[in-house]
């Protein structure tokens, strides 16, 4: 299999969303403490194994999703999966804002980021971006 770089605007959007996903995963995998603090989460002193959850669920999952999306960025089904994953992450954040009294600037910014990362590959998958 040959690795290629994006040639069109649509491919560039999907590629960029995949790269950001992989970078977030890489960051959480190798610096889980910093990633948890960035997400405003704290590890309980009696339960340091929470860091392992950040490494695997946040870091490993996002890194795997991002890397595979980078390798297959020009496939519409891969673009839809990546976009849907970010769209559901945005939905979860929106539910938290409405239900968990998390209506802060921080959460609205993260919601905006998730929506942008969802829109990029979905726009490419559905042909909404001109080449």
Is 1 a member of any domain?
no
CB atoms within 10 A of CB 130: 7
Residue range(s) defining the domain that contains residue 18: 9-124
Q: Is 16 helix (H, G, I), strand (E, B) or coil?
A: helix
pLDDT in tens, 75-122: 999 999 999 999 999 999 999 999 998 999 999 999 999 999 999 999
How far is Cα 55 from Cα 28, in angstroms, rounded to an integer? 6
Whether 129 maps to a domain, the answer reads no
Structural domain count, the chain:
1
Q: Is 16 a member of any domain?
A: yes
CA pair distance 110, 30, nearest whole angstrom: 21
Is the residue at 2 inside a domain? no
Query: What's the pLDDT tens digit per position in 16-70?
Result: 999 999 999 999 999 999 999 998 888 888 887 888 988 999 999 999 999 999 9
CA distance 73 to 118: 14
Q: Is residue 51 part of a domain?
A: yes
Task: Tell me if 15 is assigned to some domain.
Answer: yes
């Amino acid at each position: 299999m040959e690795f290629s770089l994006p040639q069109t605007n649509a491919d560039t959007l999907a590629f960029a969303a995949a790269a950001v996903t992989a970078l977030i995963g890489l960051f959480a995998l190798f610096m889980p403490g910093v990633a948890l603090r960035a997400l405003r989460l704290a590890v309980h002193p009696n339960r340091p194994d929470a860091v392992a959850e950040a490494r695997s669920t946040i870091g490993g999952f996002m890194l795997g999703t991002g890397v595979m999306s980078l390798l297959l960025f020009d496939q519409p089904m891969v673009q839809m999966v990546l976009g849907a994953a970010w769209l559901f992450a945005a939905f979860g954040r929106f539910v938290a804002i409405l239900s968990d009294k998390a209506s802060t600037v921080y959460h609205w910014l993260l919601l905006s980021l998730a929506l942008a990362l969802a829109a990029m590959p979905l726009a490419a998958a559905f042909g909404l971006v001109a080449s």
